[in-house]
A and B are shown apart, each in its own frame.
Chain A
Amino acid sequence: MKNIKRVLAVLLVMCMAVGLMAGCGDTAAPSGNTGGTSGSGDNSAPASDGPINMKLFHKFPAIGKGLDYFEGLADDFMSKNPNVKITIEAVSDEEAKSKLRVMMGADSQPDVYFSWCGEFCYKFARAGQAYDMTDYFNADAEWKDSFMPSTLDSCTLGGKLYGIPFRLIGKTFVYNKALFEQYNAKVPTTWAELIDLCQMFKDAGMEPIAFGNLYPWAGCHYITGFNAGCVPADVRQKDYNYATGEFTDPGYVTALNYFKELSDKGFFNNGYNSMIHDVASENFKLGKNPLFYCETGEYGGLIDQGMEIGVFPMPELDEAGDKNYIVGAPDCFMISSKSNCPETGMEFLKLLTSKEWMEKMITDLDYPVPVKGVLTAENANAPLVEAMQYVEGANKLINWLDTDVHTKVSDAYLPAIQEMLNGTLTPEQVMAKVQETAQIVKTEEA
């Protein structure tokens, strides 16, 4: 009897353990969407005949703003390559930054993944997490020549290409045409004119510029441009490189002072440090603010209810930095170095950047594209065409500060800017923090 009890006890314990383990089992289902239809086409993958499972990761989870576009693209690719099954995962902008890092660390890398250009892309390349696309890309001269050359530079490190640009984002001011007409306002071409314009709207009882800086990347976009205008390009380039960065040029303080001037004079809306960018965008749409500094990719959302907007770039500054530039950068897709199907991924990206799908990106999503000759007055909205004239006419694109410098430097810079706008730090104190962090990064990386 005693033995039977023991045997039963052992069996019971084993059952409990197995039950618990079963509960921890992998039941992961694809978090994105899959699907496919049959058909035929030109973009067939050169891979083997066996089934290929490819994971795609992007940051467009909203319907009408990218989710359905990428589903359609995946369906098209799968119809042309019946042996390929694409699983899509889409998360929002902020989440994408952290999730990508986790996925890379957890060895669950997506085969093809979204990335910002510049340092954000380079750190994956340096860590050996990015597939070197150079040979495959160079082998197709027609595809290679279809891109605006400057957009490829932002994805190139040490002469090797690690990303394929698919969207070109520029940052400009947009203005409410109805309000401009009502107040007989003119588009500013100099900093002084911008200040006068804002003052005029403020005197009329309005908050001139819609601005939401809860997530401080919004403020960072201003500083990206001001730094470019106030700091000589070679100094900036040296400072943005984590191995040589010092940030001691007085132009950085001047840049912060330009930003502070807009805040101190009350040209931004009330409560901007506790407001998200999307709310600021809605306020602009409601006509609460006549001006909004936003990305070209946001125009579609601003004009979808019939609002008429005009576009002008941030006025040039009479300082030591660059002239005739536009803040902005392409977004790109990278391929994991651990992917089992990098060539299939490259073919997928070739389809994404084909004329057909680039045109669709313009018509469906109102996003400008880095492929030459696709965006026209016929397929793009008027403000986008206007903005692209500024982008194409600019001497250079200035990449976003937060994705162009080392993450630790960015993490010191952006919150400090928030505090400067709140009046708890001076521009000099902000730069002292940045200099200190840059020094730490330099020492650590050395």
Chain B
Amino acid sequence: MKVYRDKRIIILYLLPVLLLMGLFVYYPLIQSFFFSFYKWASFSPVKEWVGLYNYKLIFSDPVIWGILKNNFLYAFWSTIFQAGLGLVFAACLEEKFMRKSQPFFRTVLFTPSLIAMSVIALLWQFMYDPNIGMINEAIRAIGFPNFNEQWLGSSQMAIYCCIIVSQWQYIGYCMMLDLVGIQKIDGELFEAATIDGATRPQVFRYITFPLMKESLLVTTVVTILGSIKVFTEVYVMTVGGPGRSSEVLATAMYRAAFKNDEMGVACAYAIIIFIFTFICAAIQLKISRTGED
């Protein structure tokens, strides 16, 4: 196709999307960067230049370390469960003895990721209720009549409760991505390994896992990026509380913008989130060398 050799035509085709991306992604991003150096409220007619004050304010507040810790915990457990366990589930479902029941488990595990997070968060909020919630009731029913964990009301437990909900929702999604990856692996490799006497864990360790590295990298990066941007489940279930114990970067940004009337601080949070996500995406591109093959 000669048309693809003409760079001007290519640029012309790309122009609409570049324009829109520029208008709705890059322009707001640059604008946020500049606005993060001002003190202003969304309804205030004046913007006051404060330099790096908003960043200083964020990093001088001890709460930020709790926030970063929560995001880190989110990323850590999400990587273990969504990227790691998702791959294990996918490998299990690809086993011969699971082939017949694979569609059933695939559907069961994937369905939660189709439901809106706000709905899921509300459902789990009821489940975590210390008085009538299913979780405490179930634990009491199996022989612990005085069990009374506060879950979302506990400063120590609240963030883990939110993390569990995310794992429950997205583990099936990552599993589906891995399943597609495993199905692309040449079946002869598995066959040869089995003939050579490899056990199932050895097949997973020496064939599935190495050949799934690329796919695993994608799910890991997607998961980590999601963990940096996480908002809905935390906001719906705990509003960042009790206190600020389950606060994450995105809820802190929301709090600054729409509760404290500090749009400059909110923009600074947005830039921090962008920097973290950008670094993760850059590492992913570097490791996977996307486009070089």
Query: Is B249 close to A, CB under 8 A?
Result: no
Q: Mark A237-281, 1 if CB is under 8 A from B, else 0.
A: 000000000000000000000000000000001111111000000
Whether the Cβ atoms of B9 and A418 lie closer than 8 Å is no
How far is A416 from B61 in the complex, measured between Cα atoms in Å?
Answer: 14
Given contacts A5-B3, A13-B15, contact A97 B239 (CB under 8 A): no
Could you list 14 further interchain pairs (A-B, Cβ under 8 angstroms) beyond the known A105-B42, A274-B152, A419-B243? Answer: A9-B13, A10-B12, A13-B13, A101-B42, A105-B41, A272-B153, A273-B153, A274-B151, A274-B238, A407-B261, A411-B260, A418-B241, A418-B242, A422-B155
Given contacts A13-B12, A419-B155, contact A129 B259 (CB under 8 A): no
How far is A13 from B19 in the complex, measured between Cα atoms in Å?
Answer: 12
Of B125-133, B196-204, B279-287, the one with at least 4 CB within 8 A of chain A: B125-133
How far is A6 from B3 in the complex, measured between Cα atoms in Å?
Answer: 9
Q: Mark A17-30, 1 if CB is under 8 A from B, else 0.
A: 10010000000000
Whether the Cβ atoms of A444 and B39 lie closer than 8 Å is yes
Q: Mark B141-174, 1 if CB is under 8 A from A, else 0.
A: 0000000101111110000000000000000000
Which among B41, B128, B260 is the interface contact of A127 at CB below 8 angstroms?
B41
Which among B43, B255, B262 is the interface contact of A129 at CB below 8 angstroms?
B43
In whole Å, how far is A165's beta carbon from the nearest beta carbon of chain B?
22
Residues in B whose Cβ lies below 8 Å from that of A269 = 131
Write the residues of chain A forming the contact surface with B, with a CB cutoff of 8 angstroms: 5-6, 9-10, 12-13, 16-17, 20, 97-98, 100-102, 104-106, 123-124, 127-129, 214-216, 269-275, 407-408, 411, 415-416, 418-419, 421-422, 424-425, 440, 444
Q: Mark B251-264, 1 if CB is under 8 A from A, else 0.
A: 00001001111110
Whether the Cβ atoms of B260 and A419 lie closer than 8 Å is no
Query: Is B20 close to A, CB under 8 A?
Result: yes
Residue of B with least CB distance to A12: B13
Whether the Cβ atoms of B9 and A415 lie closer than 8 Å is no
Whether the Cβ atoms of B44 and A411 lie closer than 8 Å is no
Whether the Cβ atoms of A415 and B243 lie closer than 8 Å is yes
Query: Is B223 close to A, CB under 8 A?
Result: no
Whether the Cβ atoms of B258 and A101 lie closer than 8 Å is yes
5 sample A-B contacts, Cβ–Cβ < 8 Å, listed by A number: A12-B13, A20-B20, A102-B258, A274-B238, A424-B243
Residues in B whose Cβ lies below 8 Å from that of A408 = 260, 262
The residue in B19, B131, B151, B263 that gathers the most chain A C-beta atoms within 10 A of its C-beta is B131
Whether the Cβ atoms of A17 and B15 lie closer than 8 Å is yes
Query: Is B106 close to A, CB under 8 A?
Result: no
Which among A12, A416, A422 is the interface contact of B153 at CB below 8 angstroms?
A422
In whole Å, how far is B255's beta carbon from the nearest beta carbon of chain A?
7
Summarize B's interface: helix, strand, loop or mixed.
loop
Query: Is B291 close to A, CB under 8 A?
Result: no
Query: Is B244 close to A, CB under 8 A?
Result: yes
Write the residues of chain B forming the contact surface with A, with a CB cutoff of 8 angstroms: 3, 9, 12-13, 15-16, 19-20, 39, 41-45, 57, 125, 128-131, 148, 150-155, 238-245, 255, 258-263
Residues in A whose Cβ lies below 8 Å from that of B57 = 440
Residues in B whose Cβ lies below 8 Å from that of A127 = 41, 43-45
How far is A421 from B12 in the complex, measured between Cα atoms in Å?
Answer: 62
Residues in B whose Cβ lies below 8 Å from that of A9 = 3, 9, 12-13
Given contacts A17-B15, A270-B148, A273-B150, contact A214 B241 (CB under 8 A): yes
Residues in B whose Cβ lies below 8 Å from that of A12 = 13
Which among B43, B45, B153, B244 is the interface contact of A101 at CB below 8 angstroms?
B43
Whether the Cβ atoms of B45 and A415 lie closer than 8 Å is no
Whether the Cβ atoms of B45 and A422 lie closer than 8 Å is no
Whether the Cβ atoms of B19 and A17 lie closer than 8 Å is yes
Summarize A's interface: helix, strand, loop or mixed.
helix
How far is A106 from B20 in the complex, measured between Cα atoms in Å?
Answer: 21
Whether the Cβ atoms of B241 and A415 lie closer than 8 Å is yes
Which among A20, A104, A274 is the interface contact of B42 at CB below 8 angstroms?
A104
Residue of A with least CB distance to B261: A407
Whether the Cβ atoms of B41 and A416 lie closer than 8 Å is no
Residues in B whose Cβ lies below 8 Å from that of A5 = 3
How far is A262 from B123 in the complex, measured between Cα atoms in Å?
Answer: 30
Residues in A whose Cβ lies below 8 Å from that of B239 = 214-215
Residues in A whose Cβ lies below 8 Å from that of B259 = 97-98, 407, 411
Whether the Cβ atoms of B130 and A102 lie closer than 8 Å is no
Whether the Cβ atoms of B16 and A275 lie closer than 8 Å is no
Residues in B whose Cβ lies below 8 Å from that of A10 = 12
In whole Å, how far is A163's beta carbon from the nearest beta carbon of chain B?
15
Whether the Cβ atoms of A128 and B45 lie closer than 8 Å is yes
Which among A123, A416, A444 is the interface contact of B243 at CB below 8 angstroms?
A416
How far is A373 from B130 in the complex, measured between Cα atoms in Å?
Answer: 46
How far is A88 from B237 in the complex, measured between Cα atoms in Å?
Answer: 29
In whole Å, how far is A120's beta carbon from the nearest beta carbon of chain B?
11
Given contacts A273-B150, A274-B129, contact A422 B243 (CB under 8 A): yes
Given contacts A270-B148, A274-B130, contact A216 B3 (CB under 8 A): no
Given contacts A270-B130, A273-B150, contact A13 B261 (CB under 8 A): no
In whole Å, how far is A65's beta carbon from the nearest beta carbon of chain B?
21
Residue of B with least CB distance to A421: B242
In whole Å, how far is A287's beta carbon from the nearest beta carbon of chain B?
14
How far is A106 from B257 in the complex, measured between Cα atoms in Å?
Answer: 13
Residue of B with least CB distance to A271: B130
Residues in B whose Cβ lies below 8 Å from that of A274 = 125, 128-130, 150-153, 238, 242
Given contacts A270-B131, A408-B262, contact A419 B242 (CB under 8 A): yes
Whether the Cβ atoms of A98 and B258 lie closer than 8 Å is yes
Whether the Cβ atoms of B42 and A102 lie closer than 8 Å is yes
Residue of B with least CB distance to A417: B243
How far is A124 from B41 in the complex, measured between Cα atoms in Å?
Answer: 10
Residues in A whose Cβ lies below 8 Å from that of B41 = 101, 105, 123, 127
Residue of A with least CB distance to B154: A422
Given contacts A408-B260, A418-B242, A422-B242, contact A271 B150 (CB under 8 A): yes
